[in-house]
Structure 1
Amino acid sequence: MSTLRHLVFFEFKAETDELAIQEVCDAFGALPGNISEIQAYEFGLNNSPEGLAGGFTHCFQLTFRSEADRDAYLVHPEHKAFQRIADPRVKQVMVFDYWTEQKSKG
């Protein structure tokens, strides 16, 4: 079964300290408990040795069952409140959504 992945990448402003970054990460991590349309959540820090992250350091992955669920999340009051926390601290955001495709090995 295909699922909709919503990837969000952050590059924080140089003046954003570790405490403020943690507040953003904690606020993002609280969204799945407050927005029922989110089916799964993952978070991680870039650790690629390739040097191709373009300044992005943090990645958040949300999983949705449908585009309607994703669209409901985008306008949800909890998501809007999160954006008010993140926006002043984030230099750049990249969002990438895709439907998963399953391919077998071999």
Structure 2
Amino acid sequence: MKKILASGAFALMLCCSLLFSACQPSNTDHMRHIVVFKYKPDATATQIAEVTQAFGELKDKIPGIVAFEHGINNSPENKNLGFTHVYMLTFEDAASRDAYLPHPEHQKFGELLGRLGVLEDAFVVDYMPEME
């Protein structure tokens, strides 16, 4: 019986330890690269979906990208200045981001944007997260 209780206590401590570590802030060495697009009024949903898919595929084509996410602005503040689509890449570190910028696959993505001719404007913000 004592052996079972000791095993159960050990398992409980292990689970609590894993849960605690999973709740810790993400790696602060990761670089965030946020790109926000203002599409032209005549850009179609199909074209925007093509851009989004191609952007997301860079994660599997360029080393150092650990995550990709995207979404459409839904802020009620009306301060987006026409910029509607947000894309965020998370890089292992700043060096990975620096290698991504001239990478041939990133250049192909830029060529796709040019061919489609759907972007009116874009802005980019890069930062290293600071956890409090």
Identify whether the pair has TM-score above 0.5, normalized to the shorter chain. Answer: yes
1:67-106 equivalences under 5 Å are: 67-87=94-114, 88-103=117-132
In structure 2, give the amino acid aligned to 1:7. I
Corresponding residue for 1:29?
A: 56
Gaps of 5+ in 1: none
RMSD: 1.0
* 2:86 pairs with one of 59, 67, 73: 59
Paired residue secondary structure (2:87)? strand
Corresponding residue for 2:32?
A: 5
Task: Answer yes or no: is 1:49 the counterpart of 2:79.
Answer: no
Structure 1 or 2: larger helix share? Answer: 2
Tell me the percent identity: 43
Structure 1 or 2: larger strand share? Answer: 1
Instruction: Give 1 or 2 for the bigger CA radius of gyration.
Output: 2
Gaps of 5+ in 2: 1-26
Q: Cα offset for 1:65?
A: 2.1
In structure 1, give the amino acid aligned to 2:125. F
Q: Cα offset for 1:84?
A: 1.1
Instruction: Count matched residues.
Output: 103
With the length of structure 2 as denominator, give the TM-score of the two structures.
0.74
CA distance in 2, matches of 1:83, 1:89: 12
